[in-house]
């Protein structure tokens, strides 16, 4: 079975807001390593303004610390960043995709709809983060049913199945990433929610922020309802986690 490591690959603190993490997954398998999201990267830390618009840095409260990058976290686990063969993106926002340049030979798996938005020049994405020549592998609609959702298999050749699960709305092609763990699944929901509290309330202060940052808010809300359904009806089979809630990151702070 593929081992799932929980790693923090960046820290954000928007003005007046709580500290938010960049909760990535490192998948360790006999066939190699893969990341679920890439976080803030080494190159971002060395040239923040050259890589990310200053306005976005200020709004998001980006912190740049090389220790909080996927490359350094992998090294700290005694593994080799060069063994990362694949990266599976929930979406390509700058706090999720900055680390791509640290793994230039990795294949980057994402929804075809998300790649189309990147290539169309959507303002939310940062072209310098892709200038190294990302090896995109887009995944279009599939026929795999996963707990009532139309999932898209990601063929990594790992011992555990990995799926892209469309949860559109935050971005045009935003997806969750499901990783089988025996008879259970880990579902990384990306930014389908910012805080776990959103699973039980629409009145949390972060809900307004989520709505404001959505590419399609009605679709975002529909996706959140699907995540709530999974949490309500399948908690015995699915372990949910989001990207930014520090309470969901094992070992935080650290």
Section 207-215 average pLDDT: 89
173 lies in some domain: yes
| pLDDT tens by residue, 119-147 | 999 999 999 999 999 999 999 998 899 99
Higher pLDDT, 212 or 48: 48
Decide if pLDDT at 173 tops 80.
Answer: yes
63: alpha, beta or left, given left = phi > 0 and alpha = psi -120 to 50? Answer: beta
Q: Is the pLDDT reported for residue 254 higher than 60?
A: no
In a domain, 253, yes or no: no
Please give the backbone phi and psi of residue 81, each rounded to the nearest 5 degrees, phi first: -55, -30
pLDDT at 15 over 90: no
How confident is the model over 45-61, as pLDDT tens digits?
Answer: 999 999 999 999 998 99
Task: Provide mean pLDDT across the span 151-164.
Answer: 97
pLDDT at 251 over 70: yes
Whether residue 224 is contained in a domain is answered as yes
Is the residue at 41 inside a domain? yes
Q: What is the structure's pLDDT at 253?
A: 78
Average pLDDT over residues 203-230: 93
Return all residues near 103 (Cβ < 8 A) that are at least 6 apart.
Answer: 35, 38, 70, 71, 81, 84, 87
Q: Decide if 254 is inside a domain.
A: no
- Using the predicted structure, report yes or no on whether residue 67 has a pLDDT greater than 90: yes
- Domain of 9, CATH number, reads 3.60.15.10
Average pLDDT, the chain: 95
Q: What is the pTM of this model?
A: 0.96
Reported for 64-69, long-range contacts at CB under 8 A and 24+ positions apart, including other chains, are 64/40, 65/11, 66/42, 68/8, 68/9, 68/10, 68/11, 68/22, 68/39, 68/40, 69/9, 69/10, 69/39, 69/40, 69/41, 69/42, 69/45, 69/99, 69/102
Q: Residue 154's domain spans which residues? A: 3-248
pLDDT score of 209 more than 70: yes
Residue 183 lies in a domain: yes
Q: Is 117 a domain residue?
A: yes
CA–centroid distance for 11 within its chain: 14
Mean pLDDT over 74-86 rounds to 97
- The answer to whether residue 64 is domain-embedded is yes
Total domains present in the chain: 1
pLDDT of 112 above 60: yes
Q: Quickly state the pLDDT bin for 114 (edges 50, 70, 90).
A: very high
pLDDT of residue 236: 96
């Amino acid at each position: 079975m593929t081992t799932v490591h929980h790693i923090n690959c960046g820290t954000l603190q928007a003005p007046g807001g709580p500290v938010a993490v960049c909760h990535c997954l490192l998948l360790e398998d006999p066939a190699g390593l893969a990341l679920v999201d890439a976080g803030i990267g080494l190159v971002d830390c060395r040239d923040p303004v050259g890589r990310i618009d200053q306005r976005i840095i200020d709004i998001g409260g980006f912190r740049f610390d090389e220790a909080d990058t996927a490359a350094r976290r992998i090294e700290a686990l005694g593994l080799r960043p060069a063994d990362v063969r694949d990266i599976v993106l929930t979406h390509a926002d700058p706090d999720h995709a900055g680390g791509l340049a640290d793994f230039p030979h990795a294949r980057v798996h994402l929804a075809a709809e998300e790649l189309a938005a990147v290539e169309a020049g959507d303002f939310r994405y940062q072209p310098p983060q892709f200038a190294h020549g990302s090896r995109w592998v887009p995944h279009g609609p599939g026929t795999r049913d996963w707990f009532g959702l139309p999932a898209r298999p990601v063929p990594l050749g790992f011992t555990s199945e990995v799926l892209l699960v469309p949860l559109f709305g935050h971005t045009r092609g935003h997806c969750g990433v499901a990783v089988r763990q025996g008879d259970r699944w880990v579902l990384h929901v990306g930014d389908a929610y910012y805080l776990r509290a959103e699973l039980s309330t629409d009145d949390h202060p972060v809900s307004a922020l989520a709505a404001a940052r959505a590419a399609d808010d009605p679709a975002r809300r529909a996706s959140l309802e699907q995540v709530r359904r999974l949490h309500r009806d399948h908690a015995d089979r699915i372990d949910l986690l989001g990207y930014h809630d520090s309470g969901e990151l094992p070992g935080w702070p650290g």
